Amino acid sequence: MPDSFDIVIAGGGMVGISLALQLGVALPPETSILLVEGFPIPEPAPGEAPVHHPAFDARSTALSYSTRLIYERMQLWDDLSQWLCAIESIHVSSRGRFGSTLLRASDHDWPALGYVVENSWLGNTLIRQLRQGGRVEVRSPAKVIGASPRGTGVSVELAGDVSPVSAELLLVADGANSNLRDCLGVAVSEKPYRQHALVANIAFAEPHRGCAYERFTDEGPLAVLPLLPARDGEHRGSLVWTLPPERAHHLCNCPEEEFLPTLQQRFGYRLGRLLRVGERHEYPLSLVQSSEQVRQGIVVMGNAAHALHPVAGQGFNLALRDVAELARVLAQGVAEGLPAGDLGLLQRYQHRQQKDQHRTIAFSDRVPALFMHADPLLGMGRDLALAGLDFMPGLKREFVRHAAGVSAAGERANG
């Protein structure tokens, strides 16, 4: 007889572990949950430097205010907060143009507009909570390589000479290049942006004072997100620089003596002189969307469902709102006596998240192209729109609420 679980999660990255923890909180204790991850999930030690897990790379992640609310309900926030740098304001500008605006948390009576955390520390916190909770069974290293219908649920195939696992519900959360999604025959649409993101940590002379910078250039958006200072007090930020592929590749590999002046010329002296750049990475950008997110016994989640342009840091936060809503719907279904993989129940989740997904994906897709467009009349309109936000507090407030994911959460609560 195969092993049997109510829910199997394929993928133990940031979304997969968050999903496991959220379901562990939302569902009754008798609901069995299995997390399967291809890389070994290490055992982190409290207070020590984060251990390496490939799903938690050298990049940083911006967590929106809505994500804070979700992690608070998961009782994860207090442990995570020591590694967070609060975004108290966001300066948005267009290079070479007059349009700019400053968004402040204090204008909304929020403690912060968002938070920035290095992925390694976020991973450390998630893994420790997963290991200590004991609510979720973990198989790692192991890999889900296929699934087929089995009654009202699915039969989940694992790599190697092991018996299949039966489950009421399989959650596919193994990333934008999901092999499992492809094996299940779920088609994807991909829109290449013909740009690469160059990411690195940078050190600068002046303190950032909790300000994040989103600067639109003719090559693409350039973001500098505030990080906690280094142990020696060095001021740091996380750079996400969108560039044409050839230029990104060159700047990723050129000497620091060439890189820093080039970045300084594009970013300016808002943080004083740039002093140092850490390890640089680049990756191609495209909008990837799954053609279907739910079928009987299966839900596609996270980057496997929708991988976005990094502008405004919307991708992970949208995935967390998906996680929270799926957990809410599954809890309702269990209370109604429905199996976790019931198609009508899963379609209920998709219907509730559809508006949030469409709006967030459209925003991240259109904004970079809008600011790169060379038409002078369009450029004037962009500048007036940015500058005009300072004179229209109602519009500015709603813009911030959408970016923080708070409007979407409020709509679901009232829906």
pLDDT at 387: 44
Strands 165-172 and 3-10 turn out to be parallel
Q: Residue 225: in which H helix or E strand, if any?
A: strand 221-226
Per this entry, what is the length of the chain?
415
pLDDT averaged over the chain? 85
Neighbouring C-beta atoms of residue 22, cutoff 10 Å = 22
3-state secondary structure of 316: helix
Q: Report yes or no: 225 and 197 within 8 Å, Cβ to Cβ.
A: no
Does the pLDDT of residue 73 top 50, yes or no? yes
Give me the residue spans of the domains in the chain. Answer: 3-190+286-414
CA-to-CA distance for 324 and 406, rounded, in angstroms?
A: 13
What is the per-residue pLDDT for 391? Answer: 42
Q: Which pLDDT belongs to residue 398?
A: 57
Q: Residue 354, CB half-sphere, CA atoms under 13 Å: how many?
A: 12
Q: What is the pLDDT of residues 306-328, one digit of tens each?
A: 999 887 788 999 999 999 999 99
Query: For residue 259, is pLDDT > 90?
Result: yes
What are the pLDDT digits (tens) for 93-119?
Answer: 775 554 567 888 887 788 898 999 999
Per residue in 208-221, pLDDT (tens digit) is 999 999 888 878 88
> Cis omega (within 30 of 0) on the bond before 141?
yes
Give me the mean pLDDT over the 33-38 stretch: 96
Euclidean distance between CA atoms 118 and 83, whole angstroms: 8
pLDDT on residue 44: 63
What would the mean pLDDT of 195-204 be, rounded to a whole number?
Answer: 94
Q: What are phi and psi of 6, to 5 degrees?
A: -70, -45
pLDDT at 384 over 90: no
Q: What is the pTM of this model?
A: 0.88
Tell me the per-residue pLDDT of 339-379, one tens digit each, with 9 for 90 and over.
999 999 999 999 999 999 998 898 888 776 654 444 443 34
Cβ partners under 8 Å of residue 347, min gap 6: 294
Is the pLDDT confidence value at 281 over 80? yes
What pLDDT sits at residue 376? 44
- The architecture that CATH gives domain 3-190+286-414 is 3-Layer(bba) Sandwich (3.50)
Angle at CA of residue 372, ends 371 and 373, nearest 5° = 95
Residue 161 main-chain phi, psi, to 5 deg: -90, 70
Is the pLDDT assigned to residue 79 strictly greater than 90? yes
Question: Residue 403 — left, alpha, or beta (φ > 0 → left; ψ -120 to 50 → alpha)?
Answer: alpha
pLDDT recorded at residue 52: 53
The per-residue pLDDT for 127 is 93
CA 382, CA 375: separation in Å to the nearest integer? 11
Average pLDDT over residues 381-397: 46
Give the range among 5-14, 126-135, 245-254 with minimum mean pLDDT.
Answer: 126-135
> How much is the pLDDT for 407?
55
- Find the farthest-apart pair of alpha carbons in the chain and give their distance in angstroms, rounded: 68
